[in-house]
Structure 1
Amino acid sequence: MKPVWIVDDDESIRWVLEKALARENIPLKSFSSADEVLEAMERETPQVLVSDIRMPGKSGLHLLEETKKRFPHLPIIIMTAYSDLDSAVSAFQGGAFEYLSKPFDLGRAVDLIKRAMKESEAKAVMEKSLDHVPEIIGQAPAMQEVFRAIGRLSHSNATVLVTGESGTGKELVARALHRHSPRASQPFIALNMAAIPKDLMESELFGHEKGAFTGAQVMRRGRFEQAEGGTLFLDEIGDMPLDMQTRLLRVLSDGHFYRVGGNQSVKANVRVIAATHQNLERLVKEGAFREDLFHRLNVIRLRLPSLRERAEDIPVLARHFLKQSAAQLGVEPKILSEEAAAFLSRCKLTGNVRQLENICYWFTVMVAGQVIDVKDMPAELLEENGQPERTVPVVMAADETSAVTVPYSDTMQVQTPSWEISLEKTVGALLEKGESDLMDKLGKQFEKILIRTALNRTKGRKNEAAILLGMGRNTIARKIQELGLENESANG
């Protein structure tokens, strides 16, 4: 196990943490300045880095920024005084794992460090497993064309425009282009234009100077500077506002830009790969996308096929995703029966590879047996793809003269689950009391229980909880806020 590194110019803070971690048999090293840490990182890396914000010389935020450039997956905990909370916000924006406000509870500090260590170990295992997995899986002729194009571009720094439907794996292709390029040893930075509020986009791309606007407590490097020498992947480029298109065009034209609030030109040595599921030519005709920027981006175009164009790849992709989800959950990988694989290959998976990945995660979590059959498919998938409803006999009372059948849903059990019986009794009792608006009241309670349980299972990791529940990242974040679960987790 690698040691935890603690950096603080206050010797008493270092001493207290050293003693606490030693009692837990956690290896550690202590430093008094950011310069010492950066020098040590030339030779080795820690499991977790715990750093103060305010120190003589380079600050903790500078150390955070430099460390994230070299080791993007290293968990970094920032220690801060109450008056530095604005800086703590900047720390989160810079990728900090968590922050400790001084004076801190020693037990909480140790627990936080242990959690960061687990996160670091999990990411190390994941990266190691990914090293043995092909970057992009596909045997279909349409995918072989993509592989050939990546090979031809392996010695090029040309700007590439990746097109294709949502969920076809455009970011995977962008990463492959970077990994097989002369810039492979430099950073790969990805940014989704559709996920950034318009008023924050300029700062995200180009950074800002201290004091450039309310809340700009420190100078912040944008994605162009973070990707210096490497590759900047701009996903959903068709959603970029026109005024930002003008700024991007200027960078692509002369290789210079200004931070927000800055008056000093910054040189950018960055390869840009853009991606979109939209028809940019149509957007140009409609005046929603600049024609000159389109031609700057469209130097090399790489079109990704939809999953229906490569249906023969679905079984091998499904096996890969089943192994991947099993590794994430620490269980044995499930196996697709031949009938289930054939059925999946016929399905209209409009969400493409991303939808297939989510389905395989669902299989891993929800299917009881080890072998997945057609009957184990999600009900909506069966319905959307023309699988006939099956029926089961209903046991009738003794005086009935004939048996009847009812539709059978593949997500139902023959016997009604106990929670459904309890819910039915609860609803009946509330109606007896004259309660109203039950759909709204009980619906919120139901959502709250689902999300709380999923968050408990994932130890508070919202993205993983969203996948388990089949909802988007933005949706679960909004629901957590609406249902007051944020307060629960904070108090817990």
Structure 2
Amino acid sequence: MKPIWIVDDDPSIRFVLEKALARENLPTRSFTHPREVLDALADVTVGDSARQSPQVLVSDIRMPGGSGLQLLEKVRELQPGLPVIIMTAYSDLDSAVSAFQRGAFEYLPKPFDLPKAVELIRRAVDESQREEVTEERQAETPEMLGQAPAMQDVFRAIGRLSQSQVTVLITGESGSGKELVARALHKHSPVADGPFVAINTAAIPKDLLESELFGHERGAFTGAQTQRRGRFEQAEGGTLFLDEIGDMPFDLQTRLLRVLSDGQFYRVGGHAAVKAHVRVIAATHQNLEQRVKEGGFREDLFHRLNVIRLRLPALRERHEDVPMLTRHFLQQSARQLGVEPKRIADSALARLEQFAFPGNVRQLENICHWLTVMAPAQVISLQDLPPEVLEAPVYQPPVRAGGGELSVGKMAAPLAPLVSMPSSEMVEGMHPAVAVPAVALVPGAYMAAGAAMSAPAVSSWPAADADVDATAAADAVGVRGWEQALEAEVQTLLAGGQPDVWDVLTRRFESRLIRTALLATHGRRMEAAQRLGIGRNTITRKIQELGLE
């Protein structure tokens, strides 16, 4: 991992922190003067030595020739996401609070308790690595593959919308790839050079969602110590993707309607209007017309969003794409795991085509990753498929309804045309004949909104979402329930006079737990630690202790 940078003119402080962090397997690099840090950061910024850039910066607040606060301001300009911990004497607590308000990760009063200091630095490291994983995922532009007529309709719609900044409402089931369509619409739009900002309105608590969307002024509420830009401001000049818009709280729908109507908004606690030059794309798996009838969604907001309606088909509606997607995901899983790609027999492919895929493309991706890990031979046969596929009834896809690609008015039913829009004067600037080929939308991994691939490594079948029922998985492979198996194992060890039953079983349990998490995260330790609910240093230490390297 990258080193912890320590800045302090006191050599004893540097020495103590270096030794304490070394015991935790955390590399360090020390500096005596803020200028040295800025020179080193400049070298990292212009050079290619990313491994030498800091994971966390720990700085004293008072040093000859410069202060920690000045260093903090300059570091925030060079590396905005770098966690900075400010060390200060008790007499400098006012300055420390000021540092916190300027964006410091935390402050560390002197004299400090060494274990607490190490714990704080660990927390900053975890936060830094979590941000790196997020940026890594965002950098991987997801792909869209499909030769089925239903997907070709989607591609044609994206092409026809490529010259317009009109508001689009994307509907489709969970796991079908609505965020991918939103990213493609952004990529092939006049604002493609601007930012693409996505927010899942169902995943953020109601009390925080307003601040997330519109930002807040300093002092607007308890804890609002600095001014914060919301997602609308972050997306300025680009596209804001509002996922699961049907779950937005009713009172916030009013504020969103005002932004769409007036093109301006107010931060929470603010009195000055902020202009919003943002294209809005919304998505939902719900029937918004039904939500309007039930009183859960504003009718006027629905009409504001429903300028262009694009329905993304479920995977069962484009079963002819299953072989192409299956081979792609098998190749992708092999690259991620560093193994030889597996091939799949025609009989197994045919059975996958007959599966309904309630979890859509996300579920197929999980199945392919599971097969890469669990299938015993290099060629995947019919019997290698997970029980959830083999035991499911054969799905008979209905005949797709005919009709044109574009229509006016109502919400598209499951087999209705994929795109609906009002009259042509409402979509000024739209080019009627531009078509986007499938290959134009192929750079990364096919995922739905914000959902990283989550494949169970030792269960008997992958779940449609990220959660795996371990008991059901064990039963499905013909193994006794894990509780009964554990009880039997304990009885056997006790009967045999084993003196350290606790240690033996704990090591085996931890080893299996960590192996499974690492397989599910393709060897990314930090992500595996997050999913297990432990720190990265803990998982590193356990890997060494258990001999899992």
Q: What TM-score do you get using the length of structure 1 for normalisation? A: 0.68
**Pairing of 1:46-445 with structure 2 (within 5 A):** 47=50, 48=53, 55-56=68-69, 59=72, 63=76, 76-81=82-87, 135-385=143-393, 412=477, 423=486, 425-426=488-489
Q: CA deviation at 1:287?
A: 1.1
Write the distance in 2 (CA, Å) between the matches of 1:291 and 1:122: 35
Write the distance in 2 (CA, Å) between the matches of 1:33 and 1:289: 56
Secondary structure at the counterpart of residue 194 of structure 1: coil
Quick one: which amino acid aligns to residue 207 of structure 1? G
Q: CA deviation at 1:464?
A: 5.8
Write the distance in 2 (CA, Å) between the matches of 1:319 and 1:100: 51
Q: CA deviation at 1:431?
A: 12
Q: Deviations over 1:69-103 (max 9, x none)?
A: xxxxxx734334487699889979xxx9xx89698
Write the distance in 1 (CA, Å) between the matches of 2:102 and 2:170: 32
**CA gap 1:62/1:183 in 2 versus in 1, 3 angstroms:** farther
Q: CA deviation at 1:25?
A: 12
Q: Deviations over 1:117-152 (max 9, x none)?
A: 99979977x899x67xx8310000010010001111
Identical pairs, percent: 50
Q: What TM-score do you get using the length of structure 2 for normalisation? A: 0.61
Write the distance in 2 (CA, Å) between the matches of 1:211 and 1:36: 36
Q: How many residues align?
A: 422
Does the 8 A contact of 1:231 with 1:273 survive in 2? yes
Write the distance in 2 (CA, Å) between the matches of 1:180 and 1:225: 21
Quick one: which amino acid aligns to residue 477 of structure 2? M
Farther-moved stretch of structure 1 (373-382 vs 78-87): 78-87
Q: Deviations over 1:230-277 (max 9, x none)?
A: 111000000001101001111111111112122222111111100001
Q: CA deviation at 1:188?
A: 0.7
Q: CA deviation at 1:179?
A: 0.8
**CA gap 1:310/1:222 in 2 versus in 1, 3 angstroms:** same
Secondary structure at the counterpart of residue 195 of structure 1: coil
Does the 8 A contact of 2:525 with 2:539 survive in 1? no
Write the distance in 2 (CA, Å) between the matches of 1:123 and 1:143: 29
Q: Aligned-pair RMSD on alpha carbons?
A: 5.3
Write the distance in 1 (CA, Å) between the matches of 2:107 and 2:182: 36
Quick one: which amino acid aligns to residue 320 of structure 2? E
Secondary structure at the counterpart of residue 252 of structure 2: helix
Q: CA deviation at 1:284?
A: 1.0
Structure 1: stretches of 5+ with no match in the other structure: 69-74, 388-408, 433-443, 467-475
Q: Deviations over 1:25-72 (max 9, x none)?
A: 99x9x98499999999996777245556885568559937x866xxxx
Q: CA deviation at 1:328?
A: 2.0
**CA gap 1:61/1:197 in 2 versus in 1, 3 angstroms:** farther
Write the distance in 2 (CA, Å) between the matches of 1:35 and 1:259: 34
Secondary structure at the counterpart of residue 199 of structure 2: strand
Q: CA deviation at 1:460?
A: 7.1
Write the distance in 2 (CA, Å) between the matches of 1:40 and 1:258: 40
Write the distance in 2 (CA, Å) between the matches of 1:489 and 1:227: 37
Does the 8 A contact of 2:126 with 2:535 survive in 1? no
Secondary structure at the counterpart of residue 197 of structure 2: strand
Structure 2: stretches of 5+ with no match in the other structure: 62-67, 396-473, 496-505, 542-549
Quick one: which amino acid aligns to residue 356 of structure 2? K
Q: CA deviation at 1:180?
A: 1.0
Write the distance in 2 (CA, Å) between the matches of 1:254 and 1:422: 64
**CA gap 1:366/1:58 in 2 versus in 1, 3 angstroms:** same
